Amino acid sequence: MKKKLWTVLLSVICLRLWAGGVDGFEFLNRDINEILYTVSLYRGIAIVGDDTVSGKADFRFAGDDFDSAFDSFLNANRLYVQKDSKLWLVSKVRFENLGNNVIQLDASDLRPALLVEKINRHFMMEISFDSLPETKMSLHVTGKEAADFAGAVVRQLGRDYSLEQKDGRLRIVKAVTERTTISTGREKALVKKTGMNEDRKNLYQVDVQESAAGPVLEELLKIEGREFVFACDSNVKLKRIVFNGKTFEETLSLLLSCASLKTVQIDGIIYVLNDTEMGNTPADTGKIWGRHGMSYGQINSVLPVVENRFGKLNAVVLDGENSFLCFTTENIHKQIEGFLEALDGGKNVSVVTLRYIKTDDLLSHLPPGISSSQIKGGTQDNVFFFTGNSEQLDYLNSQLESLDVPARRLKYDLLVMQYQKTNDMSWDSSLSIRRITPGDFTDASVSLGSVLDLNLDVVSAFGFKFAASLQTAINENRASVFADTTLHGLSGSSIQFKSSNIYRYRDNNIDPETGKPVYTGVTREIASGLKIDVTGWVSGDGMITTKVMASVSRQGADTSSTTGNPPPTSEKVITTEVLCKSGEPIVLSGLVQNESTFIEQRTPGLGKIPGLGWAFRGRKETEEKTEMVIYLVPHWEKMEEAVQETDREFFDRISKKYLGSNAKGGNDASLE
């Protein structure tokens, strides 16, 4: 705000001086744009500065030759002006046409990015660039094309930058790419690209001390953008190597010679080998390096067969590629290629669709003779590609008859009863539990009522007498249904039933001085209730092995406000493992919780009289015992397809028995 007020005040003063006939004014350390605005009012023409004009300056004028004084001001501050009848444009950049399409560029104290942008606007050509330094530069150069001026900027930036031209576009690239590996002690490895030579080849600087050759070579090849494979031990130590300004080929050659290594380039890939494997004897004349591989067979097992066929070869196995490099004549290379094709033939790729399991499940239980490398997953979990010959495919399909089967499903009917006994109630815990017998249906007549509404068929599982006893306990409020549900799961998997209460309280400590609780701001939880974990497994003979772990917990009274301790809890845990048939019940008892209650009643006023007050008081102590009894009935849920298959087998047996051995199964046969 002060700056604007000062500009307005300065403008008014200059106008008054001009109106009064006084030809002179003075600016000391004022913003250049403010000076331009003020003198534009004095001159009566628009004078503005572009985005390159900034900073402060001094301007003094007296007399009647304003144009000469203004030009002196511009020259002193290294500014240029472009004049027309309506506008004077002041800038730190000037493009002047010298004729014959030659242009002269003058620029002073500009950031490189802003200078490149001015070149871009003048020539209307796309010029992109990486991050450029903020150091200002001045440029006075002549040329005809945008590349001439952009190249001049790059030359001033130094060897760390280069100019690339592609598809009519220019790009200034930061040519320095530095990769450094420094470890503890005296080890040091520096590989740095420092620029380009006249042939547009990268130049490198290397400074290595007590470093393995492998990391240094790897950094060099990565910077150059080459594909490579190390087929040798590259842990050879490089003692001390320092050089600068070498091309990639020269740098690679120096490093390889110091490490006693050499390279072979095959199909654009550089392979690094030991120098002793290169074949430097006169007998190796005419031999070349070649690469051979297999799609299906294993090179490690086939290579001895190849050497028995063609003699001892100077071969280097490439780990992880199922291929090897070989140094021999071109004719032998062709024979080896044909020989490997014959050994690797007779295999194809087949699509296999699984019915019930996933490809990952098959990979974890592969049959003998089938390797994981022959199986490649598809777009769906139950589809994969199998690579192998027809015999292997037939073998795999035969094994899938036993592996690709539906998972056995289990169903658990769960009933949890809560029995209670107090000193005011009669307690009857001797409930008879046994399998139902035909006599149960005629032994007595009792209204079962709510028992028949349970999800668990109590009559079928335990018999009529138990159902009647349970109904009586419910009617007399000695028992209540805590949980009645059905759980489903797969054979071998775990199922959990949980019915709990979550109690949240603020954690606190007791202040030893005041005895009052001091809250810490932390909220904690205590879970209490019933938790049942069931794990079942169906064996081949249809028996069900069931492992059950049940726990019941109860939370005590909250005393945290007075003692600072969390509420107490009690827990009872039972674990059992039973082998039974489908439909046979499992009973877990013994989850008992005891609780004592003390109640005192007294007549208001009279009950507080000393001595005599005992006549107006009453006390009642109650002992309550709660027991959770868990009734669990596992069932093996056979698949519908398996049931249908069993029906078809039964129909076929009946057809053959009554219609003869030539009778066909299915819907074509009929029985009368």
pLDDT in tens, 250-296: 999 898 888 888 888 888 888 888 876 555 566 677 888 888 888 76
Question: Which residue is listed with tokens 């596992």?
Answer: 634
Quickly list H helices, 366-430: 390-403
Query: For residue 610, what is the DSSP state?
Result: T
Give CA angle at 37 (35, 42), nearest 5°: 90
Give CA angle at 610 (608, 612), nearest 5°: 90
**Token pair in block for residue 98:** 């010298």
d(CA 56, CA 526): 72
Q: DSSP string spanning 509-528?
A: EE-TTT--EEEEEEEEEEEE
Query: For residue 205, what is the DSSP state?
Result: E
Q: Is the pLDDT of residue 144 over 80?
A: yes
d(CA 394, CA 610): 99
Could you tell me the pTM of the whole model? 0.40
Residue pair 9/34 in contact by the 8 Å Cβ criterion: no
For residue 547, the model assigns a pLDDT of 92
Going by C-alpha positions, the residue among 311, 325, 329 that lies closest to residue 262 is 325
C-alpha distances (whole Å) from 91 to each of 51, 113, 117 are: 8, 16, 14
d(CA 438, CA 452): 18
Q: Is the pLDDT of residue 665 over 50?
A: no
Q: Which of 1-15, 114-128, 651-665 has the highest mean pLDDT?
A: 114-128
Q: Are strands 544-555 and 517-538 parallel, antiparallel or unpaired?
A: antiparallel
Chain Cα centroid distance, residue 651: 55
Give the chain's mean pLDDT: 76
d(CA 554, CA 527): 9
C-alpha distances (whole Å) from 579 to each of 90, 243, 285, 633 are: 98, 79, 78, 12
For residue 444, the model assigns a pLDDT of 44
pLDDT (tens digit, 9 = 90+) per residue, 195-231?
A: 888 778 889 888 888 888 888 888 888 888 888 888 8
Q: Is the pLDDT of residue 433 over 50?
A: no
**Token pair in block for residue 413:** 């009917």
Residues with Cβ within 8 Å of 452's Cβ and at least 6 positions away in sequence, in order, are 459
Burial (Cβ within 10 Å: 0-12, 13-18, ≥19) of residue 529: middle
